Amino acid sequence: MRPKTFKSSLQQISLVLLTFLSAPLYFSRLLSAEKWCLSISVHCLSIYRFILSCICLYICLLLTSAIVSRRCSDLEVSFGVMDGDQWDTTVEEVDNHLPSSSSSQGAYELNDVGEDEWQMVAKKGNQFVISDQPFYVNGFNTYWLMVFAADQSTRGKVTEVFQQASSVGLTVCRTWAFNDGQWKALQKSPGVYDEDVFKALDFVVSEAKKYKIRLILSLTNNWDAYGGKAQYVKWGKATGLNLTSDDDFFSHPTLRSYYKAHVKAVLNRVNTLTNITYKDDPTIFAWELMNEPRCTSDPSGDKLQSWITDMAVYVKSMDAKHLVEIGLEGFYGPSAPDRAQFNPNSYATQVGTDFIRNHQVLGVDFASVHIYADSWISQTISDSHIQFIESWMGAHIEDAERYLGMPVVFAEFGVSSKDPGYNSSFRDTMISTVYKTLLNSTKRGGSGAGSLLWQIFPDGTDYMDDGYAIVLSKSPSTSNIISLHSTRVAIFNSMCSWKCKWGCKKKNPLEAFFHHDDL
C-alpha cells in the first residue's frame, strides 16, 4: 500500500513523539516526590527510554520505506512498464531520473562497478544475482573475437566492439572459446593447442573485463564453422574409428573424451595477462556446452540427452563456481507434445532437441533460447514474425517458471537485412518486442532474465556481415533503442531495486521494507 501523504504521516508522527516525550517527565515527578519511589522512577525511565528508542526506529523505517516507495512509484508512472504496455518513453524522459552527470548515452557509467564488486554471477531461483543483488543479462553476440585477437592487424577491432557495446550499456557478450582444426585454430588436433591463439583468447577475456563486460564462452559448434562436431568426427576417422555420421560426436566415447579434454584445457587455462585461471575468473559469466546442438539422426532426443547429462556434470565437476547452459535453440521435443504448437515448424520436433527435458539435467543452471523468425518461418518480412516472437518467448518464459525453476536467456535474436521486405524500422520493432517482453517478465519476478543481440560489429567489418550485423555507428535508431533499454535496466536496478519493487507484495510500507519475495 502506498503512503497517503507525507504531510499526514508527519503530523501523526509528531503527535506520537510529543506524547511519549512529555509522559516520562510527568510520571518521574510524581514518583520522585516520595524517596521510596526514586529507585522505581529510575527503572521506569530506563524502560521508557528503551521503548521510545524502538518507536523512533519504527518511525525511521516507516519514513525510509515511504521514500523508497515514492521514488519507485515515480519511476513506475514515468516508464509506463509496471502496470501496462505503454512504451512511448523517450530517452530524455528517462534521463530526468539520472544523476546530472549522466546522459542517455552514458549507460556504461550506470553499470560501472568497482573491483571489489566484480564478483561471480550466480543463480537464485529464476533470476541471476551478484552478491545477492539482481543481475539482468543485457548483451550481444560477437563470435569471432578470439580469431581477430590472434592477428595484430585486427586485434584492435576487439577493443572497438567492447567499447561501442559498453557505450550503449551492454554488459554481457557471447563468443566462441573454440576454433577446431581450421585457420587460426585454437585446437590444431585433439589436445594440441596453438599458444598464440590461446593468448588471443586471454586478450579477449582481459579486454572484456576492462569494459566491465562479462562473457558467455561457447565450447564447440554444432555447425561446420570453426570446426565443431564435424571436425571431431574427422579427427576420429583419422585414427581409424568407424564413424558414419557427424552425430557420432554425441555418442562415441573417444569423441566424448576429445571434447572433455578441450573443456579441461579451457577451464584450467591461466590467463597470461591477468594471471587468473579461467574457472576462477568472474569475467566469465557462463560456459556454454555447444552452439545450437542438434542430433537429427535420433529424433527421440535420447542421444543428445545422454551427451548433455554427461557434459554438464563434467563441467560442474571441474568448475562449480560458474554457471552452465546448453546453447539450445529452444525447440520442443517428444517429452512435451502439447508445447510443440509453439515450434516454428514441424521439422523443429525432429532435430533431436527437447527444450524442457534437456534443461532438467543436473548441472544446467539456466535455459537458452534463440529467435530467428525469418529463418524458421519465412524470409519475407511480415507482422507474423512479431506475433511468433511474442508467442515463442511467452511459452519459454512460462515453461522456465513452471517446469524448470530457472532463468531463461534469449541468447541469440536478430533479423537479416537480406530478407525480402526488410527495413531498419522492422528490426527496431523486433528488438523492442524482445526487450518489452523480457522487462514485463522481470518486473513481476518472472524467469525472463535477459537477451543477447545477434550481433554487434564494429566499423570496418562489413565484409563479414551475413545480414544480421548491427554496426551501431550506422544504425542510430537501433542504437537509441538499445541505449534506452540499458538505461531502463540500470535505473530499475540501482534506484528502484527489483528485489524491493518487483518482488514485493507491499501490504504496507513497513512490511515492504522488511519482507521481500525470493528472487
Q: Which of 460, 477, 379 is nearest to 424 (CA)?
A: 477
Distances (CA, A) of 32 to 18, 24, 28, 35, 191: 22, 12, 6, 6, 89
**Residues 306/339, Cβ–Cβ less than 8 Å:** no
Q: Which of 254, 266, 286, 249 is nearest to 177 (CA)?
A: 266
* Residue 413, C-alpha cell as written in the block: 535474436
Q: d(Cα 1, Cα 513) in Å, to the nearest integer?
A: 12
Give the per-residue SS3 of 233-298. Answer: HHHHHHCCCCCCCHHHHHCCHHHHHHHHHHHHHHHCCECCCCCCEHHHCCCEEEEECCECCCCCCC
* Residue 108, C-alpha cell as written in the block: 556504461
* Per annotation, catalytic residue among 207, 292, 329, 401: 292
Distance of CA 199 to the CA centre of its chain: 27
The residues, ordered by sequence, that sit 6+ positions from 447 with a Cβ below 8 Å of its Cβ are 126, 127, 367, 397, 400, 401, 404, 406, 407, 408, 441
* Per annotation, catalytic residue among 288, 329, 401, 412: 412
Q: d(Cα 217, Cα 227) in Å, to the nearest integer?
A: 16
Strands 187-189 and 172-176: unpaired
Is 412 annotated as catalytic?
Answer: yes
Q: Long-range contacts for 186-191 (Cβ within 8 Å, ≥24 apart)?
A: 186/146, 187/227, 187/262, 187/265, 189/235, 190/232, 190/235, 190/258, 190/261, 191/258, 191/261, 191/262, 191/265
| Residue located via cell numbers 573417444 | 254
Nearest-10 crossing angle of helices 228-238, 253-267: 120
- DSSP symbol at 496: I
Element (H, E) at 379: none
What's the distance, Cα to Cα, between the start and end of the chain in Å? 21
Q: CA-based diameter of the chain, in Å?
A: 107
Within 13 Å and on the Cβ side, how many CA atoms surround 476? 0
Element (H, E) at 426: helix 424-443
* Residue 223, C-alpha cell as written in the block: 555447425
Is 288 annotated as catalytic?
Answer: no
Distances (CA, A) of 367 to 160, 173, 200, 324, 486: 30, 16, 29, 9, 22
Distances (CA, A) of 146 to 186, 201, 240: 9, 5, 32
Give catalytic residue positions: 292, 412
